[in-house]
């Protein structure tokens, strides 16, 4: 491993932490959109950056939901339209308006698809997180990286206390006792274990 590897790892971890804090915030996507419009304004009519509108719209759809994404999908092309109309003057208004509407339609479709995919991904993650891993041999349950008994799992995850009894089938197997059909919902009184059963 080279000496620069820890530096890159540290920088990567810092970037991940920054992104985790910044991306769920509305202001981040608005500022990115404004920066793209300013870049478009500064470079003039020869270098156009409306394709970059995809970035704030897609990120807003994924992290903040469809409302912000749809708002950006409309406002960013309108901002480009006003730059073209009042600063650049490259073509007739009809063509600029048509381009604006096409961009709005494409960005709105993309916002819909990305936000729908994000919602479905979150639903799938919730389903997967709801799965319980049970050891096939010990019948312990994995919960937060620890293997615990089923009773402790119920208590920690759902705040449910448990008690123990014996089913009629197991009472018959273990003790040779037959529980009458009308008493099946009553607890079974268990005899004291024999020396063989206790061992």
Q: What is the pLDDT of residues 52-89, one digit of tens each?
A: 999 999 999 999 999 999 999 999 999 999 988 888 87
Determine the Cα–Cα distance for residues 4 and 27; give it in Å rounded to an integer: 34
Q: What is the pLDDT of residues 34-50, one digit of tens each?
A: 999 999 888 887 888 88
Determine the Cα–Cα distance for residues 92 and 96; give it in Å rounded to an integer: 7
Are the beta carbons of 168 and 181 closer than 8 angstroms? no
Please tell me the predicted confidence (pLDDT) of residue 143.
86
How far lies 148's CA from each of 43, 130, 135, 137, 165, in Å?
Answer: 62, 17, 10, 13, 20
Please tell me the predicted confidence (pLDDT) of residue 178.
74
Region of 16 on the Ramachandran plot (φ > 0 left; ψ -120 to 50 alpha; else beta): alpha
Are the beta carbons of 75 and 67 closer than 8 angstroms? no
Please determine, for residue 164, whether its predicted confidence score (pLDDT) is greater than 80.
Answer: yes
Burial of 60 per CB tally in 10 Å (0-12, 13-18, 19+): buried
Please tell me the predicted confidence (pLDDT) of residue 45.
79
Q: What is the pLDDT of residues 100-154, one digit of tens each?
A: 999 999 999 999 999 999 999 999 988 877 788 889 998 899 888 899 998 898 8
Residue with tokens 């820890």: 6
């Amino acid at each position: 491993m080279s000496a620069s590897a820890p530096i890159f790892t540290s920088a990567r971890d810092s970037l991940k932490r920054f992104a985790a804090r910044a991306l769920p915030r509305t202001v981040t996507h608005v500022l990115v959109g404004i920066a793209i419009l300013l870049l478009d304004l500064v470079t003039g009519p020869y270098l156009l950056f409306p394709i970059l509108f995809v970035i704030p719209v897609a990120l807003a759809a994924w992290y903040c939901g469809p409302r912000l994404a749809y708002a950006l999908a409309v406002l960013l092309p309108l901002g480009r339209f006003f730059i073209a109309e009042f600063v650049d003057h490259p073509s007739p208004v009809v063509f600029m308006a048509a381009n604006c509407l096409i961009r709005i339609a494409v960005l709105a479709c993309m916002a819909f698809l990305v936000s729908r995919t994000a919602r479905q991904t979150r639903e799938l993650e919730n389903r997967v997180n709801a799965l319980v891993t049970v050891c096939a041999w010990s019948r312990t349950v994995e919960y937060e990286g620890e293997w615990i008994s089923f009773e402790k799992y119920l208590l920690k995850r759902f705040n449910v206390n448990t008690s123990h009894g014996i089913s009629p089938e197991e009472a018959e197997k273990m003790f040779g006792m037959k529980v009458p059909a009308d008493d099946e919902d009553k607890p079974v009184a268990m005899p004291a274990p024999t020396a063989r059963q206790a061992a």
